[in-house]
């Protein structure tokens, strides 16, 4: 009698075995709070890896919110934002009362299009209102075209906030993603390349910006012996327990990057005879952590991405559509958008395959059999 098959998830957590050491240490010292040695250690260790100052935060979304606040962005301001992303990238713009303006993708890396960005900035100059910042995303671990984007934003004096939630360990021209912007945000949600169970980080080369963000994240408590507040603050600090998980995960980050890249390479090799599948490229000078292995189906394919997703689900395999662009979301109906429909096309033709760093070759082969059977 055959055994029932296990469900294959898209990107489940992958523990190193070291997390329990840091968690137990926190329990032994009774630091079950939003302060303690694990938070300090996690910030120092992540900062050492990135070469940046770090604030450990409760989520990547909270980090983006704090980034906007730290730059003084609020009602009446505009913020440019990648349209092809998860809603958490854009929502903090609304949190601070600002107005989002969405920018299309380009087809090479799927990230923000430099040409559409320049068109948007020229148009905003004519309208007499430049954005106060650009939130730039590195999608699925693939770095954006940073050289061109930095040159354009520098000409207009627009600071870059990097949403590097999916891109820890990725590099552009040898430089780590998340180290280009004035402030950057990372996510350590359970599906990311490393996790703190739920959490994030705000990073910057500017120590004062990071200290200000930490202060805001700790209810903006003034330095008095009693609770004294002059500014609206937030309860956004990471817990000492979660930071302990993160420390155990950081120890295997480079291993996880290589495992994710191996998953991508295996898929590409095993599916090379399926002519209807295209892959997210990795141009020269770009190094992706391949957080998720993403495909697009060629125009005129015999299947739609949704038909393929449902076929995989029948085989107890989780796949997921690519991000629906923000300018197509009812929440952002009427928002300004610059582009030519690249993100719309990617959404219409794309699918994310199971990409866990613990995914076995046997399970990958099972996914491939289901895909080939669907075609």
Q: Which residues are catalytic?
A: 192
CA distances to 146, 319, 353, 360 from 363, rounded to whole Å, are: 36, 14, 12, 5
Q: Which residue has the tokens 């939630």?
A: 165
Q: Which residue has the tokens 């076929």?
A: 311
67 Cα distance to chain centroid:
15
Distances (CA, A) of 171 to 39, 81, 119: 26, 21, 27
Cα separation, 355 vs 193, in Å, equals 10
Tell me phi and psi for residue 147, to 5 degrees: -60, -50
Residue 235 near residue 96 (C-beta atoms within 8 A): no
How far is 190 from 221, CA to CA, in rounded Å? 30
Q: Which residues have C-beta within 8 Å of that of residue 156, sequence separation ≥ 6? A: 121, 125, 130
* C-beta of residue 185 within 8 angstroms of C-beta of residue 59: no
Please tell me the chain's helix, strand, coil percentages from 3-state DSSP, rounded to the nearest 5: 40, 20, 40
The token duo for 29 is 């010292």
Please give the sequence-ordered ranges of beta strands (E in DSSP) within 243-288, or none if there are none. 277-279, 286-287
Q: Quick one: 163 exposed, middle or buried, by C-beta within 10 A (0-12, 13-18, 19+)? A: buried
- Other C-beta atoms closer than 10 Å to the C-beta of 76 total 10
């Amino acid at each position: 009698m055959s055994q029932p098959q296990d469900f294959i998830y898209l990107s489940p957590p992958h523990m190193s075995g070291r997390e329990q050491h840091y968690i137990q240490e926190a329990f032994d010292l009774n630091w079950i709070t939003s302060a303690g040695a694990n938070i300090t250690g996690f910030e120092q260790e992540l900062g050492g890896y990135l070469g940046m100052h770090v604030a450990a935060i409760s989520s990547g979304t909270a980090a983006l919110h704090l980034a906007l606040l730290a730059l003084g962005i609020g009602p009446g301001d505009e913020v440019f934002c990648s349209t092809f992303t998860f809603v958490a990238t854009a929502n903090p713009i609304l949190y601070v009362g600002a107005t989002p303006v969405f920018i299309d993708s380009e087809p090479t890396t799927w990230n923000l299009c430099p040409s559409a960005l320049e068109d948007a900035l020229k148009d905003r100059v004519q309208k007499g209102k430049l954005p106060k910042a650009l939130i730039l995303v590195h999608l699925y671990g693939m770095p954006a075209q940073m050289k061109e984007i930095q040159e354009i934003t520098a000409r207009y004096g627009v600071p870059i906030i990097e949403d590097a939630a999916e891109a820890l360990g990725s590099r552009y021209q040898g430089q780590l993603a998340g180290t280009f912007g004035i402030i950057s945000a990372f996510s350590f949600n359970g599906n990311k390349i490393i996790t703190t169970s739920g959490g994030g980080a705000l990073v910057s080369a500017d120590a004062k910006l990071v200290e200000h963000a930490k202060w805001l994240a700790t209810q903006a408590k003034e330095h008095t012996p009693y609770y004294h507040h002059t500014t609206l603050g937030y309860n956004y600090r990471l817990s000492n327990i979660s930071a302990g998980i993160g420390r155990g995960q950081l120890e295997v980050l480079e291993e996880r990057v290589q495992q994710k890249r191996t998953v991508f390479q295996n898929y590409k090799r095993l599916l090379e005879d399926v002519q209807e599948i295209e892959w997210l490229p990795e141009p020269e000078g770009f190094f992706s952590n391949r957080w998720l292995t993403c495909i697009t189906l060629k125009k005129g394919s015999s299947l739609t991405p949704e038909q393929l997703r449902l076929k995989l689900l029948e085989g107890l395999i989780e796949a997921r559509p690519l991000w629906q662009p923000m300018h197509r979301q009812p929440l952002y109906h009427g928002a300004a958008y610059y582009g030519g429909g690249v993100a719309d096309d990617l959404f219409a033709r794309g699918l994310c395959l199971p990409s866990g760093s613990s995914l076995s070759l046997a399970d990958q082969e099972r996914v491939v059999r289901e895909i080939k059977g669907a075609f």
